[in-house]
């Protein structure tokens, strides 16, 4: 459906072939879990959408319209599939068509082609579809992971803001390549490290470590995406008396931790049960941790 609430036939083509989402990955997105007929963590996702759009010099997204579109999307999903069926709601917001991009000065040739500045529009739509089949098993059985270098320093985010490290851009080709590399090595997923060997994140999730009563995650300044699930977890964990920390971690810290999880909106808590071939012992509080994440996304 489009951002102004029109529900479209999913089998009818929608994007123009020259949309900058398709030809440059020049846009941002969000992925939300629809559970019991309700999209979760909506405010945090819309905050991040707004921050990502700002980083790309896209026009500020109209958050009220997005909220209405999300409500229509979740209702349509529940009507067609039942409230008990989880859905994956994806928001896409791109710079629009190459012939009329938004958020940058209109090039001179535009006047010659007769396309006016006013006709420029961002592309804005959302889809709701089934959650991938692997989600159920990673939630219960955990995942095997290798560490792979991202090849750059934790300084990159501050030194080169044009690299858009904290923004959730549509350019995920390198993330998907890292996951294919992991599959070729016979494991499920990846934890990226910086050139200094510091732990960063996974291609599609945030790394969380449990040590005693403290939850730790790498700081966003190190060049990771701020995770909405991690933020919700930290808020709930603090209310429950746990401590939370943003701190740089090394791979050795993961090996000796009481538990390591990958967190994301759709998979929720996925325990790392194997890291670089090492079998990680099941933490005594693994079930409590998963329950805490479920509680954190209740709102
Ligand atoms: N880090 C990256 C690179 C991601 O793509 C994602 C998921 O979208 C996350 C972390 C986790 O973010 P969230 O919990 O908001 O889904």
Residue 191 in contact with ligand 1 by CB distance below 6 A: no
**Residue where a domain terminates, one of 130, 146, 181:** 130
Rg (C-alpha) for the chain, rounded Å, is 20
Q: Note the maximum CA span of the chain.
A: 68
**Are residues 211 and 180 both part of a single domain?**
yes
**Are residues 183 and 270 both part of a single domain?**
yes
Q: Using the mean position of ligand 1's atoms as its centre, give its distance from the Cα of residue 183 in Å.
A: 19
**Are residues 192 and 229 both part of a single domain?**
yes
Above 60 in pLDDT, residue 113? Answer: no
Residue 228 in contact with ligand 1 by CB distance below 6 A: yes
**Residue where a domain terminates, one of 99, 130, 161:** 130
| pLDDT mean over 133-150 | 96
Q: Is residue 4 part of a domain?
A: no
Question: Minimal CA–CA distance to 190: which of 148, 220, 153, 222?
Answer: 148
Distance from chain centroid for Cα 46:
12
**Are residues 84 and 209 both part of a single domain?**
no
Q: Using the mean position of ligand 1's atoms as its centre, give its distance from the Cα of residue 287 in Å.
A: 22
**Are residues 119 and 157 both part of a single domain?**
no
- Atom 10 in ligand 1: which residue has the minimum CA distance? 205
User: Which ligand 1 atom sits nearest the alpha carbon of residue 225?
Assistant: 1
**Are residues 156 and 61 both part of a single domain?**
no
Q: Is residue 5 part of a domain?
A: no
Residue 206 in contact with ligand 1 by CB distance below 6 A: yes
Residue 264 in contact with ligand 1 by CB distance below 6 A: yes
Of 100 and 248, which is predicted with more confidence?
Answer: 248
The domain spanning residue 202 has which CATH number? 3.20.10.10
Q: What angle, rounded to 10 degrees, do the helices at 42-55 and 63-81 form?
A: 130
- Atom 1 in ligand 1: which residue has the minimum CA distance? 205
- Atom 8 in ligand 1: which residue has the minimum CA distance? 204
Over the range 111-123, which residues count as b (16 or more CB within 10 Å of their CB) and which as e? eeeeeeeeebebb
Classify 280 as helix, strand or coil.
coil
**Are residues 147 and 249 both part of a single domain?**
yes
Total domains present in the chain: 2
**Are residues 144 and 237 both part of a single domain?**
yes
pLDDT in tens, 251-269: 999 999 999 999 999 999 9
Q: Is residue 113 part of a domain?
A: yes
**Are residues 125 and 140 both part of a single domain?**
no
- Atom 5 in ligand 1: which residue has the minimum CA distance? 204
pLDDT in tens, 40-60: 999 999 999 999 999 999 999
**Are residues 144 and 252 both part of a single domain?**
yes
Residue 265 in contact with ligand 1 by CB distance below 6 A: yes
Residue 207 in contact with ligand 1 by CB distance below 6 A: no
**Are residues 240 and 111 both part of a single domain?**
no
| pLDDT mean over 94-113 | 67
User: Which ligand 1 atom sits nearest the alpha carbon of residue 168?
Assistant: 5
Q: Using the mean position of ligand 1's atoms as its centre, give its distance from the Cα of residue 211 in Å.
A: 22
Q: Using the mean position of ligand 1's atoms as its centre, give its distance from the Cα of residue 168 in Å.
A: 8
Q: Is residue 9 part of a domain?
A: no
Which residues, including other chains, have CB under 8 Å from residue 292's CB and lie 6 or more apart?
233, 236, 237, 240
Q: Is residue 10 part of a domain?
A: no
Q: Is residue 164 part of a domain?
A: yes
The domain spanning residue 84 has which CATH number? 3.30.470.10
pLDDT of 105 reads 52
Q: Is residue 110 part of a domain?
A: yes
Range of the domain at 43: 20-130
pLDDT in tens, 163-206: 999 999 999 999 999 999 999 999 999 999 999 999 999 999 99
User: Which ligand 1 atom sits nearest the alpha carbon of residue 45?
Assistant: 15
**Residue where a domain terminates, one of 130, 153, 180:** 130
What is the pLDDT of the chain when averaged over all its residues? 93
Q: What percent of the chain shows pLDDT beyond 70?
A: 95
- Atom 2 in ligand 1: which residue has the minimum CA distance? 204
**Are residues 91 and 181 both part of a single domain?**
no
- Atom 7 in ligand 1: which residue has the minimum CA distance? 204
Q: Is residue 8 part of a domain?
A: no
């Amino acid at each position: 459906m489009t951002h102004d609430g029109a529900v479209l036939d999913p089998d009818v083509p929608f994007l123009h072939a020259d949309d900058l989402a398709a030809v440059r990955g020049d846009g941002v997105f969000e992925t939300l879990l629809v559970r019991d007929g309700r999209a979760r963590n909506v405010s945090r996702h819309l905050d991040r959408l707004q921050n990502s759009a700002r980083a790309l010099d896209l026009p500020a997204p109209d958050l009220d319209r997005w909220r209405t579109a999300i409500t229509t999307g979740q209702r349509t999903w529940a009507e067609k599939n039942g409230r008990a069926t989880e859905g994956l709601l994806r928001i896409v917001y791109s710079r629009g068509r190459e012939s009329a991009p938004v958020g940058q000065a209109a090039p001179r040739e535009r006047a010659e082609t007769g396309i006016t500045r006013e006709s420029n529009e961002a592309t804005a739509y959302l889809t709701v579809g089934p959650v991938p089949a692997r989600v159920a098993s990673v939630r219960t059985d955990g995942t095997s992971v290798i560490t792979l270098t991202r090849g750059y320093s934790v300084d990159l985010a501050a030194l080169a803001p044009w690299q858009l490290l904290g923004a959730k851009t549509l350019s995920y080709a390198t993330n998907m390549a890292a996951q294919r590399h992991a599959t070729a090595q016979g494991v499920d997923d990846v934890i990226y490290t910086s050139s200094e060997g510091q732990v960063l994140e996974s291609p599609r999730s945030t790394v969380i470590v449990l040590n005693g009563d403290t939850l730790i995650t790498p700081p966003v300044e190190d060049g990771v995406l701020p995770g909405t699930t991690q933020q919700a977890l930290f808020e709930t964990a603090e209310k429950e008396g746990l401590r939370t920390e943003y701190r740089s971690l090394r791979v050795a810290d993961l090996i000796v931790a009481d538990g390591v999880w990958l967190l994301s909106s759709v998979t929720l808590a996925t325990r790392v049960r194997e890291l670089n071939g090492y079998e990680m012992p099941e933490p005594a509080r693994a079930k409590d941790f998963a329950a805490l994440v479920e509680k954190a996304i209740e709102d």
